[in-house]
Amino acid sequence: MARQMYEIYINETKIVLLPSTEINDSFIKDENNMVVRYTGKVNSLLNFVDMCEKTTKQESIIIHSMEYKKLKNDFIGLFKVVEAGGGVVVNERDQILMIHRRGHWDLPKGKLEAGEKKKDAAIREVIEETGIDAVEIVGKKLIKTYHSFVNRKGVRCIKLSHWYLMRGKHQTLTPQVEEDIDECRWMTLESFYSKKRKVFSNILLVLNKVQTRKVNNVEQ
């Protein structure tokens, strides 16, 4: 049975929702890492969200309950859920297609259009944001990530991103400047990790799923 867990990043603080039966002495508890039991009062969840939005002091907040389903539903109910698709494109040189947007290294992704399939959205967004000629999805979905943002109307949103491993040929790229992308670059994972870079934690989760290998050797 798959482990019950919900993980989301709010202003780079990791919030993890768990059943109380999963809590043990291995969890770190200090001034930067909290472990709390859900009281059943939604306002308490809202207080944690508000705290994360205002400060980056906390590294993680683990919230648990014997009523895990209620905890998860109450938490998600604080947000509007927006689905997105994105891709990790690997070329014949084992390089990954990275983009640079608003001061951070990122991976191409974007919101699903009405009625659009997740895979189709992921391919469309990769092509639009990088100018690559064509990409092909390899294997099953790589990972799902969650992070929060506030939209232009001031509504709290959860972006649920569906990530796919893709095959593409090395070529000159064109960043989509209207989406604030100022650079697209092919990099191996070794090169990417060889120096300190500004990158969001949820993007690191995606990259950690990808090993340096020829994309043709990925198990289907």
**pLDDT tens digits along 24-42:** 877 778 888 999 999 999 9
pTM of the model: 0.87
Q: What is the pLDDT of residues 47-79, one digit of tens each?
A: 999 999 998 888 999 999 999 999 999 999 999
C-alpha span between 217 and 92 (Å, rounded): 11
Alpha-carbon gap, residue 55 to 85, rounded angstroms? 28
* 220 found inside a domain: no
- In this structure, the answer to whether residues 30 and 116 fall within a common structural domain is no
Helices 68-76 and 42-54 pack at an angle, to 10 degrees, of: 50
Q: Quick one: 107 and 126 in the same domain? A: yes
Same domain, 28 and 96: no
Identify whether residues 30 and 102 lie together within a single domain: no
DSSP state of 4: P
Same domain, 50 and 99: no
Domain that holds residue 44: 6-76
Shared domain check, 116 and 137:
yes
Number of domains in the chain: 2
Let me know whether 84 and 155 are in one domain. yes
